[in-house]
Amino acid sequence: MLSMLRGFKVRNLAIVVMLLCLLPVTALAAPPEITADAAVLMDVESGQIYYARKHMRRADPASLTKIMTAVVALENGKPGDVVTVKGRAAAVSMGSIVDLRKGEKVTLDELLKAALICSANDSTVAIAEHVGGDHDRFVKMMNTKAAALGMLGTRFRNTNGYHDPNHYTTAYDLALLTKYALGLPRFNELVQTRETTMYWIEPTGREEKLRNSNRLLFDGYEGIDGVKTGTTPTAGNCLVASATQEGRRLIAVALHSDNRYTDCIRLLDYGFKVVKPVTVAGAGEKMAAVAVTGGVLPEVEAVAERELQVRIDPDEMPNLEKRVEVSETLPAPLKRGQKLGEAVCSLNGQELGRVSLVAGKDVPRAGWHRQLWDKVFN
């Protein structure tokens, strides 16, 4: 695959950048046509971005905020904790609610059900007051977690996503957050639950049927397994969706969309049907030649320690870049398999993968007469 590199000799420790002119390809499909103002498609395992539109621009997250609310609650509370509803939570009346009343008792897990499945705004306030001691302290915990996850374009001011000019995030940050959240087993379970029942401890016998607000869970898209809707007049219609096919899980984010469900389906289809694996280096493949001083050989092949495979839209192959990082010269002796440097593959500034480059063979140290010869005549 990288036959163009055969015989290529690196002269210094500079990063050598070259386009990977791979085999000619036929365009399979154009990037997905979507209506969302901002969007991103991310691979859950690798974190690779397959599609992005204004993904670093600040946006109102609406109820997608509740993803972080749930993360902080799950990591700082216990599902079986008994929560006594306080006045602030009971006073919430705007948007989706489960009509919590002051003095009622319900477990933290039941409140998380309401927050993630039917997007209940009052449940997030009850969660915050229990886990954080008070609402504002919990919001600080949310912002601390956002910083720890590298969500550099995010700032929270509340737990449910009510509009506030200082409450914002980005499509990329939401994908990053969701990638992390899906690693929490209870979160992962709740966001793919279609219907369930919420139960109160007090008053005894009170219960509420919950139906997931994410329509994709009911529409039969292959492998759909989450995540969360969000809607306010300012944010518009928003959706974070996830799906798994053939062992690959992808996250699609659509913000301020005219048709969030179609947008996310198109993004997911693009990731599953258009993005393909490409082998950019075979195990043992020569990537460069490095000069050797004081050895029985004048140079040694730098070969890939293992296969390096990445996933891209085949239309992007002409833009795929690889840089080889090795020293100008290396002193003998060198052992076969000894690390000499790295090859790094990237696309549009995003690193897709890297592989160690190792010596392809042993290069013993030359005798004194050979070393003298090299010093005199080279």
Q: Is residue 29 predicted with pLDDT exceeding 90?
A: no
> Residue 253 in contact with residue 175, Cβ under 8 Å?
yes
Axis crossing angle, helix 121-131 with helix 108-117, rounded to the nearest 10: 140
Residue 9, token pair as written in the block: 């000799």
197-214 mean pLDDT:
97
Are 287 and 199 found together in one domain? no
Q: Respond yes or no: is residue 361 known to be catalytic.
A: no
Indicate the number of domains in the chain: 2
AA letter at 155: R
54-68 mean pLDDT:
97
Q: Is residue 18 predicted with pLDDT exceeding 60?
A: no
3-22 mean pLDDT:
35
Output the pLDDT for position 49. 95
313-323 mean pLDDT:
90
Indicate whether 313 belongs to any domain: yes
As to burial, measured by CB atoms within 10 angstroms (0-12 exposed, 13-18 middle, 19+ buried), residue 201 is middle
Output the pLDDT for position 348. 87
Indicate whether 265 belongs to any domain: no
| Mean residue pLDDT across the chain | 90
The strand ranges marked E within the chain are 16-19, 38-43, 49-53, 82-84, 105-107, 195-199, 207-211, 224-232, 236-245, 248-257, 276-281, 286-293, 299-304, 308-312, 320-326, 329-331, 339-347, 350-359
Are 145 and 71 found together in one domain? yes
322 pLDDT tier (thresholds 50, 70, 90): confident
291-304 mean pLDDT:
94
Are 127 and 230 found together in one domain? yes
9 pLDDT tier (thresholds 50, 70, 90): very low
Residue 100, token pair as written in the block: 């919590």
Residue closest to 230 by CA, chosen among 170, 183, 173, 160: 160
Are 56 and 121 found together in one domain? yes
Domain end residue (candidates: 207, 226, 257):
257
Are 313 and 228 found together in one domain? no
> Residue 277 in contact with residue 309, Cβ under 8 Å?
yes
Cα three-residue angle 358-296-333, rounded to 5 degrees: 45
Indicate whether 262 belongs to any domain: no
Are 296 and 358 found together in one domain? yes
Are 75 and 136 found together in one domain? yes
Output the pLDDT for position 212. 97
The residue range of the domain holding 283 is 3-25+279-377
Q: Is residue 24 predicted with pLDDT exceeding 80?
A: no
C-alpha to C-alpha distances, 163 to 35, 125, 263, nearest whole angstrom: 22, 15, 23
Indicate whether 264 belongs to any domain: no
CATH for 74: 3.40.710.10
CATH for 309: 2.60.410.10
Indicate whether 70 belongs to any domain: yes
185-207 mean pLDDT:
97
Burial 211-241 (b: 16+ CB within 10 A, else e): ebbbebbeeebeebbbbbbbbbeebbbbbbb
- 283 dihedral zone (left: phi>0; alpha: psi -120 to 50; beta): beta
Are 303 and 176 found together in one domain? no
Indicate whether 31 belongs to any domain: no
- pLDDT tens digits, one per residue of 132-172: 999 999 999 999 999 999 999 999 999 999 999 999 999 99
Contacts of 196 (CB under 8 A, 6+ apart): 113, 117, 210
Indicate whether 267 belongs to any domain: no
Q: Is residue 334 predicted with pLDDT exceeding 50?
A: yes
59 pLDDT tier (thresholds 50, 70, 90): very high
Output the pLDDT for position 31. 84
Q: Which residues pair with 255 in a beta bridge?
A: 38
Q: Is residue 39 predicted with pLDDT exceeding 80?
A: yes
Percent of the chain with pLDDT over 90: 85
* Annotated catalytic residue, options 66, 113, 145, 179: 66
The strand ranges marked E within 200-285 are 207-211, 224-232, 236-245, 248-257, 276-281
Q: How far, in Å, CA of 12 to CA of 324, rounded?
A: 11
AA letter at 10: V
Are 249 and 193 found together in one domain? yes
> Residue 118 in contact with residue 213, Cβ under 8 Å?
yes
Residue 99: HSE in the Cβ half-sphere, 13 Å Cα cutoff = 6
Domain end residue (candidates: 257, 291, 321):
257
3-state DSSP assignment of residue 368? helix
Indicate whether 132 belongs to any domain: yes
Q: Is residue 336 predicted with pLDDT exceeding 50?
A: yes
* Annotated catalytic residue, options 9, 93, 105, 119: 119
> Residue 332 in contact with residue 292, Cβ under 8 Å?
yes
Are 128 and 172 found together in one domain? yes
Are 58 and 121 found together in one domain? yes
pTM, entire model: 0.85
Contacts of 48 (CB under 8 A, 6+ apart): 42, 310, 311, 350, 352
Q: How far, in Å, CA of 114 to CA of 81, rounded?
A: 15
Contacts of 251 (CB under 8 A, 6+ apart): 40, 41, 42, 43, 44, 175, 178, 179, 182, 227, 240, 241, 242
Q: Respond yes or no: is residue 119 known to be catalytic.
A: yes
67-72 mean pLDDT:
98
Q: Respond yes or no: is residue 93 known to be catalytic.
A: no
Are 219 and 75 found together in one domain? yes
- pLDDT tens digits, one per residue of 123-138: 999 999 999 999 999 9
- pLDDT tens digits, one per residue of 230-280: 999 999 999 999 999 999 999 999 999 999 999 999 999 999 999 999 999
C-alpha to C-alpha distances, 248 to 27, 200, 225, 277, 365, nearest whole angstrom: 23, 38, 12, 12, 48
209-237 mean pLDDT:
96
